Structure 1
Amino acid sequence: MIRTLFLAFGLATLTACGLQPMYAGGASGTVATSLRSIQVQNIPGKGGWLVRNALVSKLGGESNATAAYRLDVELDDNITGFGIRGDRATTRERRTLRARYRLIDLSTGAVVLDATAGSDAGIDVVSSQYATIAAEQTALERLTGVVADQIVSRLALFIARTAPAR
């Protein structure tokens, strides 16, 4: 009985705090339509190609005819060796992918959001050079997905906070 009363009280206070779903309205909601109006610029390099494709997919595809914003992304991809054995051979690597991105309002040319995203992954260095290169590429693919998710989440939050209420 007390548990039910506590739950009812919790739900009542949650609705009173003004909490609203970010993607209210589904595909036709403010956030979803605004995300589809973002044009993603080309990003140099393999990692850039992967990040751009992930961003375009997560933002709802390319619809540059109705673009209201442009997203510029600069990547910093770095592999650092550590875990040195006695014979000076590297046993571990860390691949770090950082992105600085700017959301530009195409109507004014103003930068409305300037932020960063990033992630890293550990890689075992083994005796097979092919296996190590494959692990580095797999890490890059995983990291590009993580960074793209971070960027889209931040863009959605920015739009939800700044969009006029319907």
Structure 2
Amino acid sequence: MKRIAASLALALTLAGCGLRPLYGGAASPARSVLSQVQITPIAGQSGWLVGSALKDRLAAVEGSSPRYRLDIALDDSIIGLGVRRDDSITRERRTLRARYQLVDLSTGLTVVDDTAGSDAGVDVVGSEYATIAAEQSALERLSSILADKIVARIALYAQRSQAQ
């Protein structure tokens, strides 16, 4: 009996806290905005990877006219960290940073102007092929992480703009 009462009290407390799912329901503001975003082309291999990841996450409605435009500028860099006595590098850090702007096409105003980034460590081994493959794998992971951060920020904008 005490467990039932405690469960009921907990359920009532959580119901009144004001938390609601960001992507919940078909008519959620976040889902509505995310389906209306057009991504401008992004230069380079990293741009293609980030653009593809964003398209997968945004799920724009085919044939509909976009309400927003997403402009992204990427900075992809690799720096050496670990150095042996013979001055050869043993570890690298690959960093992918993005400055992105969400522009409302009806007004021309920038509604979100933000940055996102992530980095990954890469071991440099004796095989050049293995090192290049590890760098490429890191870029693919970073592109996915970056896309998740950008989509989350746009969804947060949609939620906040709906509340105002």
Task: Tell me the TM-score normalised to structure 1 length.
Answer: 0.91
Kindly provide the amino acid, as one letter, of the partner of residue 36 in structure 2: S
Q: Which runs of 5+ in 2 are unaligned?
A: none
Mark the runs of 5 or more structure 1 residues left unpaired by the alignment: none
Q: Does structure 2 retain, via aligned residues, the 8 Å contact 1:37–1:64? A: no
Residues 101-122 of structure 1, C-alpha deviation per residue, up to 9 Å, x if partnerless?
1110111111111111111111
Q: Which residue identity is paired with 1:89? A: S
Aligned-pair distance for 1:8? 2.6
SS across alignment from 1:87: coil
In the TM superposition, 1:12-161 aligns within 5 A as 12-26=12-26, 28-61=27-60, 63=62, 65-161=64-160
Structure 1 residues 163 and 49 mapped into 2: Cα distance closer, same or farther (>3 Å)? same
Letter in 1 for 2:79: T
1:93–1:164 Cα change, 3 Å: same
RMSD (CA atoms): 1.8
Change (3 A) 1:79 1:3: farther
Residues 42-92 of structure 1 show CA distances to partners (whole Å, capped at 9, x for unaligned) of 111100011011111110046474211100011111101011111111000
8 A contact 2:36–2:60 mirrored in 1: no
2:103/2:111 contact within 8 Å kept: yes
What number of residue pairs does the alignment pair up?
Answer: 164
- Give SS of 2:125's match: coil
Q: Deviations over 1:28-55 (max 9, x none)?
A: 4332122110010011110001101111
Alpha-carbon offset, residue 25 of structure 1: 2.1
Do the aligned partners of 1:101 and 1:115 also contact (CA within 8 Å) in 2? yes
In 1, Cα distance between the equivalents of 2:63 and 2:117? 26
The answer to whether the 8 A contact 1:36-1:63 is kept is no
What TM-score does the superposition give when structure 2 sets the normalisation length? 0.92
State the AA in 2 paired with 1:69: Y
Q: What is the rounded CA distance, in whole Å, between the counterparts of 2:34 and 2:82 in structure 1?
A: 42
Identity across the alignment (%): 51
Larger RCO (alpha carbons 8 Å, 6+ apart): 2
State the one-letter code of the partner of 2:84. R
Tell me the SS of whatever aligns to 1:132. helix
1:19: how far off?
1.5
